[in-house]
């Protein structure tokens, strides 16, 4: 498949690019700093651009079968990507989100509620942006999946990834970037979580 990745130069994003290429996909990496992607591969192309560059975003998604977005708390960028996908007729969108975005199926205990309050207090802009981005994704008519994570680490991949909802005794707070990348990549072809917002952890 042809996958466009936003956030490709990040710590998780670089792993995602590598995993996608290793799996035989053709990758377009969107980057404001292409030099941060120290990879050369016949199936990798890079589109350089900022997150407000509509032309470059459209160029990056135009030929994609699926788009994965992991740039973080930038709701305007999410909206621009959704618009570009609409223009290009690309339907599958997998977006990295966080535990600050609620889902009706969550059953949050007091500890978890305190964590989200802490995030809101410590990083109010990020808290608001990630929720606004999730609203835009949910309001779109794309084939979207919001993948919610709480805390990332750089441990090796385990392949043991829990997916579900917070507060139901299955999903915890932490996941490795390698396992997260694997889950995101899986979503490109797996429609189990279509128009859903699974939380994931190790």
Binding site for ligand NAP (CB under 6 A): 7, 9-13, 32-33, 36, 51, 70-72, 74, 96, 98, 149, 151-152, 177
Considering only CA atoms, which of 69, 63, 84, 65 is closest in space to residue 189? Answer: 65
Considering only CA atoms, which of 53, 101, 100 is closest in space to residue 81? Answer: 53
Considering the complex, state which of residue 90 and residue 180 has its C-beta at the smaller distance from ligand NAP: 180
Considering the complex, state which of residue 51 and residue 56 has its C-beta at the smaller distance from ligand NAP: 51
Strands 66-69 and 2-6: parallel
Considering the complex, state which of residue 89 and residue 156 has its C-beta at the smaller distance from ligand NAP: 156
Min separation Cβ 141 and ligand NAP, Å: 23
Residue closest to ligand NAP, measured at CB: 10
C-alpha triplet 79, 22, 130: angle, nearest 5°: 25
Strands 162-164 and 199-201: antiparallel
The tokens of 67 are what? 């788009």
Min separation Cβ 27 and ligand NAP, Å: 14
Min separation Cβ 22 and ligand NAP, Å: 18
Q: Under 8 Å CB-to-CB from 9, ≥6 apart: which residues?
A: 29, 31, 32, 33, 34, 36, 37
Min separation Cβ 152 and ligand NAP, Å: 4
Min separation Cβ 193 and ligand NAP, Å: 17
Considering the complex, state which of residue 32 and residue 41 has its C-beta at the smaller distance from ligand NAP: 32
């Amino acid at each position: 498949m042809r996958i466009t990745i936003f956030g490709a130069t990040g710590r998780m994003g670089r792993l995602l690019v590598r995993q996608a290429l290793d799996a035989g996909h053709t990758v377009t990496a969107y980057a404001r700093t292409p030099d941060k992607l120290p990879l050369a591969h016949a199936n990798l192309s890079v589109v350089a651009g900022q997150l407000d560059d509509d032309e470059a975003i459209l160029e990056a998604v135009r030929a994609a079968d699926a788009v994965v977005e992991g740039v973080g708390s930038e709701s305007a960028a999410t909206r621009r990507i959704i618009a570009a996908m609409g223009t290009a007729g690309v339907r599958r969108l997998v977006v990295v989100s966080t535990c600050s975005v609620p889902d009706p199926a969550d059953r949050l205990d007091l500890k978890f509620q305190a964590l989200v309050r802490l995030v809101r207090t410590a990083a109010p802009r990020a808290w608001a942006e990630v929720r606004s981005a999730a609203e835009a994704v949910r309001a779109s008519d794309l084939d979207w999946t919001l993948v919610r994570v709480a805390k990332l680490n750089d441990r090796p991949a385990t392949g043991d990834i829990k997916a579900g909802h917070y507060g139901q005794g299955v999903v915890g707070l932490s996941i490795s970037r390698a396992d997260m990348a694997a889950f995101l990549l899986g979503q490109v072809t797996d429609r189990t979580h279509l128009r859903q917002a699974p939380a994931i952890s190790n």
